C-alpha cells in the first residue's frame, strides 16, 4: 500500500475501462487505488471517464470523475474543489492530459501551436497553480507532469508538440525549486513510444511502426502500465528526496 491515505487528482484519466486499451491516466488511476489512494479522475471525455470511475468503485476502491478542460481556469478550480470536498485534501496531482500535434514548422498553423501550448503548458501551469495551496494545507504533496521524450529531443515533425512538452519540462523544474520548502515535490515523466488510445492508430501503420521500432533499443513499443509504475513511484514517499527530476521511460530511445 505505497499510497495509503493519499488523495490524487489525475487528468487525462478517462481511458481506464477494463478490457479496453488504457491511457497513462487510466492505468495510473487503477494502480493508485490498488496502492491505497483515493482518486479523482478528470477528463473532457465524460462518458469514458464515468465508466472508468464506476468500474473502480465496483472493485471496492474510492474514485470519482470530474469533467475538466485543462485549459479552463474555472474547470481547474472546480476539480480541485471536488477533490477536497469529496476526500478532504489533495496530496498528488498528475498533470497527464494531452493531445497530438503533428507537423513540421511550415505545416504548423497558429491554431495548432496555440492548441498544443494550451494543453501541455497552460494546462500544467493552471493545475499546479491551484493544487499548491491545498498541498500546502496538507503538509506537502507531489505534482507529476507528463512530458515526453519529445520534450527532450527533436524529431522530423510534431513541432508544436515538442515546444509544448519542452515547456512543461522546464516549468516542472521552476516549480520544483519554488515550492521545495513547502514539501511540495514537482517532477516530470517522459514516456517514449507507448501504445495508447491516442497513438494506436498511427503506431500500427507501416512504415511508421517500423520506423519507431528502429529507434527503440529494446525493440518494442511500450505499455501504459510501464509509465504508470513510474507515476506511482513519484507519488509515493519512496521518492521523498526527488524533485525537479526527469523520469525517462522510453526503452532506451534517448540514450543514443
What pLDDT does 202 receive? 85
Q: Is the pLDDT of residue 45 over 90?
A: yes
| Greatest CA separation for the chain | 51
Q: What is the pLDDT of residues 112-142, one digit of tens each?
A: 999 999 999 999 999 999 999 999 999 999 9
pLDDT tens for 196-253 read 999 988 888 899 899 999 999 999 999 999 999 999 999 999 999 999 999 999 999 9
Output the pLDDT for position 204.
85
* Across 139-166, average pLDDT: 97
Mean pLDDT of the chain: 97
What would the pLDDT profile of 80-105 be if each residue is shown by its tens digit? 999 999 999 999 999 999 999 899 99
Spans of all domains in the chain: 7-255
Mean per-residue pLDDT, 12-21: 96
Residues identified as active-site: 161
Averaged pLDDT, 3-28 = 97
As assigned by CATH, the class of the 7-255 domain is alpha beta
Amino acid at each position: 500500500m505505497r499510497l495509503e491515505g493519499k488523495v490524487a487528482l489525475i487528468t487525462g484519466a478517462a481511458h481506464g475501462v477494463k478490457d479496453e486499451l488504457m491511457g497513462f491516466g487510466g492505468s495510473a488511476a487503477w494502480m493508485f487505488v490498488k496502492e491505497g489512494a483515493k482518486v479523482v479522475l478528470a477528463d473532457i471525455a465524460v462518458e469514458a471517464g464515468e465508466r472508468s470511475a464506476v468500474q473502480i468503485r465496483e472493485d471496492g476502491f474510492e474514485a470519482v470523475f470530474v469533467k475538466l478542460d485543462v485549459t479552463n481556469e474555472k474547470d481547474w478550480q472546480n476539480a480541485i474543489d471536488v477533490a477536497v470536498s469529496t476526500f478532504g485534501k489533495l496530496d498528488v496531482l498528475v498533470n497527464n492530459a494531452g493531445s497530438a500535434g503533428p507537423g513540421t514548422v511550415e505545416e504548423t498553423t497558429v491554431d495548432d501551436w496555440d492548441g498544443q501550448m494550451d494543453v501541455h503548458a497552460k494546462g500544467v501551469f493552471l493545475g499546479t497553480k491551484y493544487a499548491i495551496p491545498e498541498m500546502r494545507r496538507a503538509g506537502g504533496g507531489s505534482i507529476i507532469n507528463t512530458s515526453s521524450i519529445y520534450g527532450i529531443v527533436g524529431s522530423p515533425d510534431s513541432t508544436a508538440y515538442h515546444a509544448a512538452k519542452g515547456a512543461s519540462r522546464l516549468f516542472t523544474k521552476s516549480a520544483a525549486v519554488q515550492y521545495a520548502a513547502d514539501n511540495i515535490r514537482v517532477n516530470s515523466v517522459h514516456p517514449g513510444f507507448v501504445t495508447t488510445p491516442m497513438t494506436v492508430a498511427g503506431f500500427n501503420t507501416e512504415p511508421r511502426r517500423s520506423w519507431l521500432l528502429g529507434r527503440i533499443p529494446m525493440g518494442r513499443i511500450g505499455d501504459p502500465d510501464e509509465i504508470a509504475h513510474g507515476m506511482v513511484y513519484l507519488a509515493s514517499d519512496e521518492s521523498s528526496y526527488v524533485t525537479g527530476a526527469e523520469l525517462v521511460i522510453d526503452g532506451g530511445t534517448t540514450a543514443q
